[in-house]
Amino acid sequence: MPPSAPVPPAPPWWVERAEALLAPSDLRTLGLGAQWELLERFSFVQENVEPELLLLDVRARPELQALWAAMQARALRVTEALDAAGDDVAQQLRTGVLSPARFREQWEGLGFIEATGRASTAADDWLEGLLRISRITTGQDRPPFGQVNLASRAQRISDFLSITSPGPRDTVYDLGCGNGKFAITVAASSSARVKGVEYGQTYVESARRNSQRFALPNLEFIHADVRDVDMSDGTAFYLYFPFWGEVAHAVARMLGDVARKRDITVYASGPRHDYGEHFLEQVSQGALRLEPRRHDFADVMVLRSAAFA
């Protein structure tokens, strides 16, 4: 009986993904959000294939070099298409063709239904593609009790806008703003003054670059420890669990002091333990009052000035 032919080794894990990403499609027919979702898939492969292992893969199967090169080239074309789509929106914002109300309608209208197998929605893909901001970024400097940056979900931003209805007389603070997704979106979606406060320098630099791109006159980013910032002009404050412990305690006290002097709204998302409890302390001390909790946003505390009820 003749010997069996040797079984060829299984292809590397990235081959199937690369082949799927190279499937024919006209990038011009893809919307901004779809282009971003596609670029994120390219980035996942590129960032998770180590150069040393790629070299071994190519040595074992030389034909893979052409596949990798084709994937890199297509990723570049997707990036260029995404840049062009984003530049078009930025131009409309700069010239006033896209008003705050229309901008908000554009991203909210895409919907907040989470895609199958992906922790993202069409609205999030559109905003993150426009801003070129990944939802999770790590490795940046942050103070003790500072949290890894998690870009706010679009539905949460929409909820904040609906609750606060910020206008030209309002100043919105995004405390622990990270790369600026929330702050930029709110500034582009309203006439309120928006100030993002962030300790991580890399985050602030990225946020400021985007701010310049859209030329939003009502947007400012402050590079500082939040405890050192004068927030007495604020009317609405957004916190997406940016810190805990001592920092959260200090910020809650600061907001309690502001609430005793003016009517404010605090939108604080995060756990009760070592975070929410500090805001509840300001409720027990009479500075803030807690609005009823809502089913869709069970982890959010909406607090308002008790003295202006």
Helix (H) or strand (E) holding 256: helix 245-259
Helix (H) or strand (E) holding 203: helix 201-214
Work out the average pLDDT over 132-141: 60
Work out the average pLDDT over 278-303: 91
Work out the average pLDDT over 32-58: 93
Determine the Cα–Cα distance for residues 110 and 163; give it in Å rounded to an integer: 20
Determine the Cα–Cα distance for residues 14 and 106; give it in Å rounded to an integer: 35
| Lowest pLDDT segment from 21-25, 96-100, 150-154, 243-247 | 150-154
Determine the Cα–Cα distance for residues 124 and 6; give it in Å rounded to an integer: 48
Question: Is residue 44 predicted with pLDDT exceeding 80?
Answer: yes
| Lowest pLDDT segment from 184-188, 224-228, 271-275 | 271-275
Amino acid at 17: R
- pLDDT value of residue 138: 47
- pLDDT value of residue 3: 61
Work out the average pLDDT over 250-266: 97
Helix (H) or strand (E) holding 206: helix 201-214
What does the pLDDT look like over 137-184, one tens digit per residue?
A: 544 455 554 455 556 899 999 999 999 999 999 999 999 998 899 999
Nearest Cα to 115, choosing from 6, 2, 36?
36
- pLDDT value of residue 122: 94
Work out the average pLDDT over 258-278: 94
**With DSSP H G I counted as helix, E B as strand and the rest as coil, what are the percentages for the chain, rounded to 5?**
50, 15, 35
Q: If you average pLDDT over every residue of the chain, what do you get?
A: 89
- pLDDT band of residue 135 (cuts 50, 70, 90) is low
Q: What are the residues whose beta carbons fall under 8 Å from the beta carbon of 287, sequence distance 6 or more?
A: 255, 256, 257, 259, 260, 305, 306, 307
Determine the Cα–Cα distance for residues 86 and 76; give it in Å rounded to an integer: 15
